[in-house]
Amino acid sequence: MKRTLLCIAFLVTGIFLPKVKAQTGNDTIKELSAKEKKQAELDEREKKYYARVKQNKLDDLKEEKQNIIENEKFELKKQIAEIDKRFEKGEINQEKATALKKEAAKRSALNIDNRIAIIDNQIALTERDMAMYSYKPNTGAYIALGFGNVVDEKGSFLLGLDFKGLDRKTKYDKRTTRDVVLKWGFVNAVGDGQTIGDSYKFWRSSGFELGLAFKTRLLKDSNYFRLSYGLSYQISMYSPGKDKYFVNDNGKTMVQQFPYELKNSFLRTENLVVPVHLEFGPSKKKEYKDYFRYDTSTSFKVGLGGYVGLNTGAVQRLQYEVDDKRVVDKNRADYNLNKFVYGIDGYIGFGAVSFFARYELNPIFENSTYKEHAVSFGMRLDL
Protein backbone atom coordinates (compact mmCIF):
# COMPACT_ATOMS: atom_id res chain seq x y z
CA MET A 1 0.00 0.00 0.00
CA LYS A 2 2.82 2.36 0.97
CA ARG A 3 4.59 1.55 -2.30
CA THR A 4 1.41 2.31 -4.25
CA LEU A 5 0.95 5.73 -2.54
CA LEU A 6 4.62 6.56 -3.10
CA CYS A 7 4.33 5.77 -6.82
CA ILE A 8 1.20 7.92 -7.10
CA ALA A 9 3.02 10.81 -5.35
CA PHE A 10 5.98 10.62 -7.75
CA LEU A 11 3.59 10.43 -10.70
CA VAL A 12 1.68 13.54 -9.59
CA THR A 13 4.95 15.44 -8.94
CA GLY A 14 6.24 14.50 -12.36
CA ILE A 15 3.06 15.73 -14.01
CA PHE A 16 2.87 19.15 -12.28
CA LEU A 17 6.57 19.94 -11.76
CA PRO A 18 7.31 20.88 -15.39
CA LYS A 19 4.39 23.34 -15.27
CA VAL A 20 5.71 24.90 -12.08
CA LYS A 21 9.18 25.16 -13.58
CA ALA A 22 7.73 26.65 -16.73
CA GLN A 23 5.79 29.27 -14.74
CA THR A 24 8.91 30.19 -12.74
CA GLY A 25 10.97 30.51 -15.92
CA ASN A 26 8.34 32.71 -17.56
CA ASP A 27 8.24 35.00 -14.48
CA THR A 28 12.03 35.32 -14.54
CA ILE A 29 11.99 36.21 -18.24
CA LYS A 30 9.32 38.83 -17.62
CA GLU A 31 11.29 40.28 -14.71
CA LEU A 32 14.49 40.46 -16.77
CA SER A 33 12.59 42.11 -19.62
CA ALA A 34 11.28 44.80 -17.22
CA LYS A 35 14.77 45.48 -15.87
CA GLU A 36 16.24 45.64 -19.36
CA LYS A 37 13.51 48.05 -20.42
CA LYS A 38 14.14 50.27 -17.41
CA GLN A 39 17.89 50.21 -18.02
CA ALA A 40 17.32 51.07 -21.66
CA GLU A 41 15.22 54.07 -20.61
CA LEU A 42 17.97 55.20 -18.22
CA ASP A 43 20.59 54.76 -20.93
CA GLU A 44 18.49 56.82 -23.32
CA ARG A 45 18.06 59.62 -20.77
CA GLU A 46 21.77 59.63 -20.08
CA LYS A 47 22.50 59.73 -23.78
CA LYS A 48 20.18 62.70 -24.28
CA TYR A 49 21.67 64.47 -21.26
CA TYR A 50 25.26 64.19 -22.51
CA ALA A 51 24.14 65.16 -26.00
CA ARG A 52 22.57 68.28 -24.53
CA VAL A 53 25.73 69.03 -22.50
CA LYS A 54 27.83 68.56 -25.61
CA GLN A 55 25.67 70.88 -27.69
CA ASN A 56 25.64 73.54 -24.97
CA LYS A 57 29.42 73.34 -24.78
CA LEU A 58 29.74 73.73 -28.55
CA ASP A 59 27.37 76.69 -28.56
CA ASP A 60 29.36 78.38 -25.76
CA LEU A 61 32.65 77.84 -27.58
CA LYS A 62 31.28 79.24 -30.85
CA GLU A 63 29.94 82.26 -28.99
CA GLU A 64 33.33 82.70 -27.32
CA LYS A 65 35.01 82.79 -30.75
CA GLN A 66 32.77 85.66 -31.78
CA ASN A 67 33.41 87.46 -28.48
CA ILE A 68 37.18 87.18 -28.99
CA ILE A 69 36.97 88.83 -32.39
CA GLU A 70 34.68 91.62 -31.17
CA ASN A 71 36.75 92.29 -28.04
CA GLU A 72 40.03 92.48 -29.95
CA LYS A 73 38.48 94.84 -32.49
CA PHE A 74 37.16 97.01 -29.68
CA GLU A 75 40.58 97.15 -28.00
CA LEU A 76 42.21 97.99 -31.34
CA LYS A 77 39.73 100.81 -31.86
CA LYS A 78 40.62 102.27 -28.44
CA GLN A 79 44.35 102.04 -29.17
CA ILE A 80 43.95 103.80 -32.52
CA ALA A 81 41.87 106.55 -30.88
CA GLU A 82 44.64 107.02 -28.29
CA ILE A 83 47.27 107.24 -31.05
CA ASP A 84 45.16 109.87 -32.85
CA LYS A 85 44.97 111.92 -29.63
CA ARG A 86 48.74 111.82 -29.26
CA PHE A 87 49.10 112.94 -32.90
CA GLU A 88 46.64 115.83 -32.44
CA LYS A 89 48.54 116.99 -29.32
CA GLY A 90 51.77 116.99 -31.29
CA GLU A 91 53.41 114.29 -29.19
CA ILE A 92 54.14 112.17 -32.30
CA ASN A 93 54.32 112.88 -36.03
CA GLN A 94 52.29 111.33 -38.84
CA GLU A 95 54.92 108.72 -39.66
CA LYS A 96 55.14 107.55 -36.04
CA ALA A 97 51.36 107.46 -35.73
CA THR A 98 51.03 105.29 -38.85
CA ALA A 99 53.71 102.89 -37.59
CA LEU A 100 52.03 102.58 -34.17
CA LYS A 101 48.67 101.86 -35.82
CA LYS A 102 50.18 99.14 -38.02
CA GLU A 103 51.88 97.58 -34.99
CA ALA A 104 48.65 97.63 -32.99
CA ALA A 105 46.70 96.07 -35.88
CA LYS A 106 49.33 93.33 -36.30
CA ARG A 107 49.28 92.54 -32.58
CA SER A 108 45.48 92.43 -32.55
CA ALA A 109 45.41 90.04 -35.55
CA LEU A 110 47.90 87.71 -33.84
CA ASN A 111 45.88 87.77 -30.66
CA ILE A 112 42.77 86.77 -32.59
CA ASP A 113 44.56 83.94 -34.40
CA ASN A 114 46.15 82.51 -31.23
CA ARG A 115 43.04 82.75 -29.06
CA ILE A 116 40.75 81.30 -31.73
CA ALA A 117 43.18 78.41 -32.29
CA ILE A 118 42.71 77.45 -28.63
CA ILE A 119 38.91 77.57 -29.02
CA ASP A 120 39.04 75.54 -32.25
CA ASN A 121 41.01 72.82 -30.45
CA GLN A 122 38.43 72.73 -27.68
CA ILE A 123 35.65 72.43 -30.27
CA ALA A 124 37.47 69.51 -31.91
CA LEU A 125 37.86 67.74 -28.56
CA THR A 126 34.21 68.35 -27.68
CA GLU A 127 33.01 67.00 -31.03
CA ARG A 128 34.93 63.79 -30.22
CA ASP A 129 32.62 63.33 -27.21
CA MET A 130 34.91 65.06 -24.70
CA ALA A 131 31.97 67.28 -23.78
CA MET A 132 33.25 68.33 -20.37
CA TYR A 133 36.76 69.28 -21.54
CA SER A 134 37.83 72.84 -20.78
CA TYR A 135 41.24 74.43 -21.30
CA LYS A 136 42.29 76.37 -18.19
CA PRO A 137 46.05 76.86 -17.92
CA ASN A 138 47.81 77.00 -14.54
CA THR A 139 44.78 75.76 -12.61
CA GLY A 140 44.05 72.53 -10.80
CA ALA A 141 41.62 71.15 -8.28
CA TYR A 142 40.56 73.72 -5.69
CA ILE A 143 38.02 74.48 -2.99
CA ALA A 144 36.70 78.04 -2.88
CA LEU A 145 36.43 79.13 0.73
CA GLY A 146 36.42 82.59 2.25
CA PHE A 147 34.71 85.95 1.94
CA GLY A 148 34.64 88.07 -1.16
CA ASN A 149 32.90 90.18 -3.72
CA VAL A 150 31.30 89.16 -7.01
CA VAL A 151 33.59 86.81 -8.93
CA ASP A 152 32.34 87.58 -12.43
CA GLU A 153 29.76 89.61 -14.35
CA LYS A 154 27.23 86.76 -14.08
CA GLY A 155 26.78 87.41 -10.37
CA SER A 156 28.95 84.64 -8.92
CA PHE A 157 29.62 85.37 -5.27
CA LEU A 158 32.07 84.14 -2.65
CA LEU A 159 30.70 84.12 0.90
CA GLY A 160 32.02 81.17 2.85
CA LEU A 161 31.39 78.98 -0.21
CA ASP A 162 31.54 79.68 -3.90
CA PHE A 163 28.08 80.47 -5.30
CA LYS A 164 27.97 80.29 -9.10
CA GLY A 165 25.87 82.97 -10.71
CA LEU A 166 23.24 82.35 -13.36
CA ASP A 167 24.27 82.50 -16.99
CA ARG A 168 22.66 85.87 -17.62
CA LYS A 169 23.34 88.76 -19.96
CA THR A 170 25.94 91.23 -18.72
CA LYS A 171 24.43 94.55 -17.66
CA TYR A 172 25.88 97.49 -19.60
CA ASP A 173 25.94 99.93 -16.66
CA LYS A 174 25.88 98.52 -13.14
CA ARG A 175 25.40 101.41 -10.69
CA THR A 176 25.20 99.27 -7.55
CA THR A 177 27.86 96.81 -6.39
CA ARG A 178 28.24 94.81 -3.18
CA ASP A 179 31.10 94.09 -0.81
CA VAL A 180 31.70 91.95 2.24
CA VAL A 181 32.97 94.29 4.97
CA LEU A 182 35.31 93.03 7.67
CA LYS A 183 36.49 95.19 10.59
CA TRP A 184 38.63 94.52 13.63
CA GLY A 185 40.42 96.74 16.08
CA PHE A 186 40.39 98.18 19.60
CA VAL A 187 37.37 99.17 21.68
CA ASN A 188 37.28 101.49 24.68
CA ALA A 189 35.19 104.24 26.26
CA VAL A 190 35.25 107.98 26.99
CA GLY A 191 32.99 110.30 28.98
CA ASP A 192 32.43 111.89 32.42
CA GLY A 193 36.11 112.69 32.76
CA GLN A 194 37.14 109.20 31.68
CA THR A 195 39.55 108.81 28.77
CA ILE A 196 40.70 105.80 26.76
CA GLY A 197 42.31 103.26 29.06
CA ASP A 198 40.85 104.59 32.35
CA SER A 199 37.94 102.16 32.63
CA TYR A 200 39.05 99.31 30.37
CA LYS A 201 42.38 97.74 29.47
CA PHE A 202 43.44 99.14 26.11
CA TRP A 203 45.19 96.09 24.63
CA ARG A 204 42.66 93.59 26.01
CA SER A 205 39.50 95.37 24.79
CA SER A 206 38.80 94.64 21.14
CA GLY A 207 36.05 94.61 18.55
CA PHE A 208 35.00 92.79 15.37
CA GLU A 209 32.44 93.51 12.67
CA LEU A 210 31.17 91.51 9.70
CA GLY A 211 28.67 92.87 7.23
CA LEU A 212 27.36 93.13 3.70
CA ALA A 213 27.55 96.57 2.07
CA PHE A 214 25.99 97.87 -1.13
CA LYS A 215 27.53 100.82 -2.99
CA THR A 216 25.45 102.91 -5.38
CA ARG A 217 26.93 105.47 -7.76
CA LEU A 218 25.21 108.83 -7.17
CA LEU A 219 26.18 110.62 -10.40
CA LYS A 220 25.28 109.43 -13.88
CA ASP A 221 28.64 109.93 -15.57
CA SER A 222 30.99 109.87 -12.59
CA ASN A 223 31.79 107.47 -9.78
CA TYR A 224 33.36 110.07 -7.50
CA PHE A 225 30.47 109.97 -5.00
CA ARG A 226 28.99 106.67 -3.82
CA LEU A 227 26.35 105.86 -1.20
CA SER A 228 27.37 102.86 0.91
CA TYR A 229 24.73 101.04 3.00
CA GLY A 230 24.05 97.55 4.32
CA LEU A 231 23.75 95.37 7.40
CA SER A 232 26.49 94.52 9.92
CA TYR A 233 26.99 92.42 13.03
CA GLN A 234 29.23 94.03 15.68
CA ILE A 235 30.98 92.41 18.64
CA SER A 236 32.71 94.52 21.31
CA MET A 237 34.67 93.13 24.28
CA TYR A 238 35.36 95.37 27.28
CA SER A 239 38.03 94.19 29.70
CA PRO A 240 37.94 96.04 33.11
CA GLY A 241 40.95 96.54 35.40
CA LYS A 242 42.88 93.86 37.27
CA ASP A 243 40.62 91.36 39.10
CA LYS A 244 37.50 93.41 38.35
CA TYR A 245 34.17 92.45 36.82
CA PHE A 246 30.75 93.89 35.94
CA VAL A 247 27.76 93.60 38.28
CA ASN A 248 24.17 94.77 38.15
CA ASP A 249 23.55 96.36 41.55
CA ASN A 250 19.84 97.22 41.88
CA GLY A 251 19.57 98.33 38.26
CA LYS A 252 22.91 100.10 38.16
CA THR A 253 25.89 98.62 36.29
CA MET A 254 29.26 99.05 38.00
CA VAL A 255 32.69 97.46 38.20
CA GLN A 256 33.65 95.67 41.41
CA GLN A 257 36.59 93.71 42.78
CA PHE A 258 36.39 89.96 42.24
CA PRO A 259 37.11 87.69 45.26
CA TYR A 260 39.67 85.63 43.28
CA GLU A 261 42.55 86.47 40.99
CA LEU A 262 41.15 86.72 37.47
CA LYS A 263 43.16 85.29 34.59
CA ASN A 264 40.74 86.78 32.10
CA SER A 265 37.69 89.00 32.35
CA PHE A 266 35.60 90.78 29.71
CA LEU A 267 32.04 91.77 28.83
CA ARG A 268 31.04 90.96 25.25
CA THR A 269 28.25 93.01 23.67
CA GLU A 270 26.59 92.23 20.34
CA ASN A 271 24.84 94.69 18.02
CA LEU A 272 22.99 94.38 14.73
CA VAL A 273 23.28 97.69 12.90
CA VAL A 274 22.55 99.41 9.58
CA PRO A 275 25.57 101.54 8.54
CA VAL A 276 25.21 104.33 5.95
CA HIS A 277 28.19 106.24 4.50
CA LEU A 278 28.86 108.78 1.81
CA GLU A 279 31.99 107.45 0.14
CA PHE A 280 33.99 109.60 -2.25
CA GLY A 281 37.23 109.32 -4.16
CA PRO A 282 38.57 108.82 -7.71
CA SER A 283 38.06 105.67 -9.72
CA LYS A 284 39.17 104.32 -13.07
CA LYS A 285 36.61 103.72 -15.81
CA LYS A 286 37.16 100.45 -17.65
CA GLU A 287 35.33 100.02 -20.97
CA TYR A 288 34.63 96.69 -22.61
CA LYS A 289 32.84 95.62 -25.77
CA ASP A 290 29.32 95.49 -24.30
CA TYR A 291 29.67 97.04 -20.83
CA PHE A 292 31.77 99.34 -18.65
CA ARG A 293 32.69 99.41 -14.97
CA TYR A 294 34.33 101.79 -12.50
CA ASP A 295 37.32 100.32 -10.66
CA THR A 296 38.33 101.61 -7.19
CA SER A 297 40.78 98.81 -6.34
CA THR A 298 43.78 101.13 -6.78
CA SER A 299 42.21 104.42 -5.66
CA PHE A 300 42.14 106.59 -2.56
CA LYS A 301 38.77 106.79 -0.77
CA VAL A 302 37.05 108.42 2.21
CA GLY A 303 33.78 107.39 3.85
CA LEU A 304 31.75 109.51 6.31
CA GLY A 305 28.49 108.51 7.94
CA GLY A 306 26.96 106.65 10.84
CA TYR A 307 24.87 103.70 11.93
CA VAL A 308 21.73 102.76 13.87
CA GLY A 309 20.77 99.40 15.28
CA LEU A 310 19.84 97.22 18.21
CA ASN A 311 21.78 95.52 20.95
CA THR A 312 21.12 91.78 20.70
CA GLY A 313 22.70 90.64 23.97
CA ALA A 314 25.69 90.56 26.30
CA VAL A 315 27.83 87.84 27.90
CA GLN A 316 30.42 88.24 30.68
CA ARG A 317 33.27 85.74 30.74
CA LEU A 318 35.37 85.21 33.87
CA GLN A 319 38.34 82.87 34.13
CA TYR A 320 40.01 82.11 37.47
CA GLU A 321 41.36 79.29 39.64
CA VAL A 322 39.94 77.78 42.84
CA ASP A 323 42.01 75.11 44.67
CA ASP A 324 44.25 74.78 41.59
CA LYS A 325 41.23 74.08 39.39
CA ARG A 326 40.48 76.20 36.34
CA VAL A 327 37.02 77.76 36.40
CA VAL A 328 35.30 79.55 33.51
CA ASP A 329 32.01 81.38 34.12
CA LYS A 330 29.86 82.68 31.27
CA ASN A 331 26.96 84.83 32.43
CA ARG A 332 24.36 86.08 29.96
CA ALA A 333 22.44 88.60 32.06
CA ASP A 334 20.95 92.10 31.96
CA TYR A 335 23.78 94.58 32.35
CA ASN A 336 21.54 97.58 31.56
CA LEU A 337 22.97 97.99 28.08
CA ASN A 338 21.18 100.47 25.85
CA LYS A 339 18.95 98.47 23.53
CA PHE A 340 18.98 101.13 20.81
CA VAL A 341 22.47 102.02 19.53
CA TYR A 342 23.55 104.75 17.13
CA GLY A 343 26.75 106.61 16.34
CA ILE A 344 29.04 108.23 13.79
CA ASP A 345 31.57 106.34 11.73
CA GLY A 346 34.22 107.11 9.17
CA TYR A 347 37.08 105.51 7.26
CA ILE A 348 39.96 106.50 5.00
CA GLY A 349 42.06 104.18 2.87
CA PHE A 350 43.39 102.93 -0.43
CA GLY A 351 41.70 100.22 -2.47
CA ALA A 352 40.23 97.49 -0.28
CA VAL A 353 42.15 98.46 2.89
CA SER A 354 41.06 101.31 5.16
CA PHE A 355 41.46 102.60 8.70
CA PHE A 356 38.21 103.35 10.51
CA ALA A 357 37.09 105.17 13.67
CA ARG A 358 33.69 104.94 15.37
CA TYR A 359 32.04 106.90 18.19
CA GLU A 360 28.80 105.68 19.79
CA LEU A 361 26.48 108.59 20.63
CA ASN A 362 24.38 106.62 23.11
CA PRO A 363 25.92 105.68 26.50
CA ILE A 364 27.03 102.05 26.78
CA PHE A 365 24.86 101.48 29.89
CA GLU A 366 21.49 103.05 30.64
CA ASN A 367 22.43 103.46 34.30
CA SER A 368 26.04 103.17 35.48
CA THR A 369 28.74 104.88 37.51
CA TYR A 370 29.91 106.87 34.46
CA LYS A 371 28.08 107.94 31.31
CA GLU A 372 30.56 106.32 28.97
CA HIS A 373 30.44 106.24 25.18
CA ALA A 374 32.07 103.46 23.19
CA VAL A 375 34.87 104.34 20.79
CA SER A 376 36.64 101.96 18.46
CA PHE A 377 39.25 102.18 15.73
CA GLY A 378 41.18 99.72 13.61
CA MET A 379 41.35 98.20 10.14
CA ARG A 380 38.58 97.74 7.58
CA LEU A 381 38.58 95.45 4.55
CA ASP A 382 36.14 95.64 1.64
CA LEU A 383 36.32 92.21 0.04
Strand partners, 308: 274, 342
Q: Of the segments 11-20, 38-47, 170-179, which one has the largest average pLDDT value?
A: 170-179
Closest to 188 measured CA to CA, from 172, 206, 170, 213: 206
Residue 308 near residue 273, CB atoms below 8 Å: yes
Residue 66 has pLDDT above 80, yes or no: yes
24-38, 48-62, 273-287: least confidently modelled range: 24-38
Q: Global pTM? A: 0.67
CA–CA distance, 64 with 12 (Å, rounded to integer): 78
Q: Using one digit for the tens of pLDDT, what is the confidence trace for 320-368? A: 999 889 999 998 888 899 999 999 999 999 999 999 999 999 999 998 8
Which H helix or E strand runs over 58? helix 2-88
Cβ burial, residue 11 (10 Å; 0-12/13-18/19+): exposed
Taking the CA of residue 148 as centre, how many other CA atoms within 13 Å lie in the half-sphere pointing to its CB? 14
